[in-house]
Amino acid sequence: MPKYFAQEPNGRYAIVIHGGAGTMNPNMEESLKQTYLNSLTEALKIGQEILTSGGSSLDAVEKVVIYLEDDSLFNAGRGAVFTSEGNNELDASIMDGRDLSSGAVAGVTIIKNPISLARLVKEKTTHVLFAGKGADDLGKKLGVDIVDPSYFFVYERYEELERKMEKTKGTVGCVAIDQNGNISAATSTGGLSGKMPGRVGDTPIINAGTYANNKTCGVSATGIGELFVKNAACYQVSVLMEYEGYTLKQAAEEVIFKVLPDGSGGMISVDKNYNYEFTFNTPSMMRGVATSDGVFEVKMWK
């Protein structure tokens, strides 16, 4: 498969992150709000540093998502929500816009950082998606960090905090374009709180929850996964740009405000010209951006 439009280093980059879209209470305690903003800031700095030093967008999105997976504030990795049976089943995917190569895992239960296993699926196998026990076994074989399932039970000891944060925990994602013009996207989640065991949403589905193509854009989604799957939401942004001549802003808004129903979620995106967008039809979406033009900001509400 051809590599699309990789360039010589140009000194430019853009990186966007999200920590989930939803209905965060704007009147939440200031200390909790600052905790979220601080975490988003730290995650963004990790990606910014990689891109500033000439690193790849693929490395940047993976490292950022690892940080967010390790931070129990978010519904990914350590902070993953529980199924209806009280277990944790984690999903993640990553995509490289140079050649559309992709890797994903669904329903893993012992993988500390699902996004890293997703990248290894992309680079060490001829497949795209591994699920359940097969994915866990692959993680062992490929040497990723394995944890006891109890690692994800962090909030059982903090029931009050869990109740307070129940509506604020979201999927995490990152999209970046590096100095070579290469676009990458990554998304990770614990899924829907109280979901039926085995349920899989959009996060590990390439085209639905994650997409990257150097010809157009990179996108990471968050929200009601079933709706993003039915509409191939992330891919649809790229299609509108490539075949209908939409700008990134027009394409993302078409999908979020016209294709998807109100309250269904949001997406972050960057295009091949280093533009970026945050598009969501919910009251809040935790998000951040850093660019080579000096932009650096994190936000939670509209």
186/118 Cα distance (integer angstroms): 9
Residue 68 phi/psi, 5-degree rounding, is -70, -35
Q: Has 171 been annotated as catalytic?
A: yes
d(CA 177, CA 112): 26
Name 188's Cβ contacts closer than 8 Å, sequence gap at least 6. Answer: 65, 68, 69, 76, 77, 90, 91, 92, 114, 115, 118, 171, 172, 173, 203
Tokens of 87: 């277990």
Among 168, 171, 203, 282, which one carries the catalytic annotation?
A: 171
Measure the CA–CA gap between 86 and 299, rounded to whole angstroms.
32
The CA radius of gyration of the chain, in Å to the nearest whole number, is 17
Structure tokens at 26: 């704007």
95: phi > 0 → left, psi -120 to 50 → alpha, else beta; which?
Answer: beta
Active site residues: 171
